[in-house]
Amino acid sequence: MQQQRPAPRLKSAMEQLGAWVLDQPEPTALEGQCCDRLRPNQIQRELLESLKRSGLDGSSLVDWRWDARQGHAKGWLWQAGTLQRFRWWRQSGQLTLHEQLNCTTTAPLQALR
């Protein structure tokens, strides 16, 4: 059986396609909520337990990210009208909070017309 060679135009198109594929940039690293493996369920459970032990059980996680190399989670926490930046070290259980925004209401909210 004789092997057929691709038509010249097809061969040229295939070479251009190969060059295009090799020329594409590498995908960027996944961060934040882009990928659940950056926020494993076991880490989240331990983080929530640590918040509860720290007296922050009425708070809610706004966003957080796990850094496996550093062994800590960091993100944003909402509690009683205050948005706080936090960092939590899994090994020691140490939790640091930095208040970023304090929201209070002095009058009922009204819709703008």
Q: Are 83 and 76 a contacting pair, CB within 8 Å?
A: yes
Which band of pLDDT confidence, cut at 50, 70 and 90, is reported for residue 89?
very high
Given a cut of 80, is residue 41 above it in pLDDT?
yes
Alpha-carbon gap, residue 108 to 91, rounded angstroms: 45
**Which element (helix H / strand E) includes 47?**
helix 41-53
- Residues of the chain with pLDDT > 70, as a percent, come to 59
Task: Quote the radius of gyration of the chain (alpha carbons, Å).
Answer: 26
Sorting pLDDT into bands at 50, 70 and 90, what band is 33? very low
More confident residue, 79 or 112: 79
> Is it the case that residue 112 has pLDDT exceeding 60?
no
* CA pair distance 43, 37, nearest whole angstrom: 11
Query: What type of residue sits at position 83?
Result: L
List domains and CATH numbers for the chain: 36-102 (3.10.450.40)
Q: Are 61 and 77 in contact (CB under 8 A)?
A: yes
